[in-house]
Amino acid sequence: MLAIYAALASFALLVPRPIDEGFTPWVRGVLAFLRNHGLGLLSWLGYDVVEYAAHAVVFAPLGILAVVAFGRRMSWLAVLLLLGACWLVEYAQSIMGSAEPPSTPDLLLNTAGALAGAAVGYWAATPTRARRSSS
């Protein structure tokens, strides 16, 4: 499962054109609808917020799967590999012809998503008996 998700995420992240090309008008329309009908609660929600959140959202499942695959005992190695992957993806995009150089916010959001996913994976890899006794 980890290998499949990593392959799909790599494809989506390393495609030389924006993955949301063609969907941008639709996404912007949905966001406008939510802002207009959210009673002012979603006035902060714009395309840039969704784009930044996508960085973390892509890496969170990778963090979960990596820690579960490596196990609690080797979770430190999974985290190190995830951090390397986060940075590698950003630099690979610039090498493969992306118009944008790696940006600090993108790198930080990739890392935050991977670490959040790793924390969930670490919790998920806890034996259920130990989780019950700590609740």
Domain range enclosing 66: 2-126
- Letter string b/e over residues 82-112, b meaning 16 or more CB atoms within 10 A of that residue's CB: bbebbeebbeebeeeebeeebeeebbebbbb
- pLDDT value of residue 80: 94
- 5 vs 23: CA distance, rounded Å: 22
Task: Give Cβ neighbours of residue 46 (< 8 Å, ≥ 6 apart).
Answer: 31, 35
Task: Determine, yes or no, domain membership for 48.
Answer: yes
Q: What is the domain count for the chain?
A: 1
Distance CA 113, CA 86 (A): 9
Q: Is the residue at 115 inside a domain?
A: yes
> If the chain, 135 residues long, is cut into consecutive pieces of 10 residues, what is the mean pLDDT of each piece?
72 60 72 75 75 84 90 91 86 70 83 93 78 58
Q: What's the rounded Cα separation, in Å, for the pair 56 and 86?
A: 10
Domain membership flag for residue 45: yes
Domain membership flag for residue 134 = no
In whole angstroms, how far apart are CA 106 and each of 30, 54, 57, 88?
Answer: 23, 10, 12, 12
User: Does 133 map to a domain?
Assistant: no
* 135 assigned to some structural domain: no
Write down the pLDDT at residue 39.
Answer: 61
